[in-house]
Amino acid sequence: MVVVVFTIMKPPTLRAPRGPRRPLRAVRPAVALALAAALATSACGQATPSPGAATPAGDGGTSTSSTPTSGGDAGSGAETATAGGVHLEATMAPGVPGGGATGTGTGTGNGIAAGPGLVVTYTLTNTGAEPVLAYDVVPDDLGSATLPEDVDPEHAWVYEQSGVLRLSKQGFPPAPNVRFIAAPAMGGHTIAPGASLTGRAYAVSPPTLDVPGDTFEAPRTPVDPAVKQWQFCVQVDDRAAQARPSAVGGGVVEAPSKAPEGDELVCTPPATIPVA
């Protein structure tokens, strides 16, 4: 058997343009920590949704089983869901990104001006008895072994699932025959029992596909610009003890990326996308 190991500055990224929100940036030296080995192996097995589970993340191989507890249009109140000892509430409205970690609604992200889009404001509450880890700080390009210090806290993956626009903060499984020597890092927050986390997610409008590159299994179908419904998802699991402090600061921790399993991807029910 022949094993080929190669060093990359950053995994290949094939996705639709993000518009004015995130122009291409120079490669950071720290990204060189991410190494990948391509092995001649069979494709990875995928999780099977439990009975009554919500639809999986397209061809990304992830599954969900969150249970909606209320519905209705975004303008009439928060969309809510419960799963795995957590409760999620989210609303969507036309708006601009918050800018930095403070979410002040300045219309800038990492010093880059951005146009109007769709903003989801969410609250995640730990209703269980043990700490949980919410993966709500997602780097623009998944692949580096460390979380970049200038990571955008409002970045979310954007794709269409069964006719619904999904803004999701989650990991994805590696593509078949791809193995990372240094596991890609995702950021998040540890939520203590009874505590809540509030955050935001942003997507350009009209929405466009924004997913990791082809070293990961993720949805590849372009988003229909006329899509009418939305939902917000966030990955939550019990790996709080495995998280380590991040250079980002502000309570952000990081942990190796992994695809959600079972009820680890908590999603609100579909609702009508609001218009300005």
DSSP letter for each residue of 156-177: -EEEEETTEEEEEE---PBPTT
CA distance 172 to 194: 28
Specify whether the backbone of 181 is left (phi greater than 0), alpha (psi in -120 to 50) or beta: alpha
Arithmetic mean of pLDDT over the chain: 76
Q: How confident is the model at residue 114 (pLDDT cuts 50, 70, 90)?
A: low
Residues 6+ apart with CB under 8 A from 265: 57, 62, 63, 64, 66, 168, 170, 233, 234, 235
Q: How confident is the model at residue 21 (pLDDT cuts 50, 70, 90)?
A: very low
What pLDDT, in 10s, does the model give residues 169-208?
999 999 999 989 999 999 999 999 999 999 999 999 999 9
pLDDT at res. 62? 38
**E strand intervals along 33-163:** 35-38, 67-70, 79-83, 86-95, 108-109, 112-113, 117-126, 132-137, 157-161
Q: Are 70 and 81 spatial neighbours (Cβ–Cβ below 8 Å)?
A: no
240 in a structural domain? yes
Give the count of beta carbons closer than 10 Å to the beta carbon of residue 224: 12
Q: Measuring CA to CA, which residue among 272, 270, 273, 266 is closest to residue 124?
A: 266
- Total domain count for the chain? 1
Q: Helix or strand or coil: residue 45?
A: coil
Q: Helix or strand or coil: residue 48?
A: coil
165 in a structural domain? yes
Least confident window among 113-117, 152-156, 203-207: 113-117
182 in a structural domain? yes
262 in a structural domain? yes
50 in a structural domain? no
Question: Residue 115's domain spans which residues?
Answer: 4-42+56-272
- What's the predicted TM-score (pTM) here? 0.72
51 in a structural domain? no
Q: Measuring CA to CA, which residue among 129, 110, 151 is closest to residue 254?
A: 151
Q: Are 173 and 86 spatial neighbours (Cβ–Cβ below 8 Å)?
A: no
47 in a structural domain? no
49 in a structural domain? no
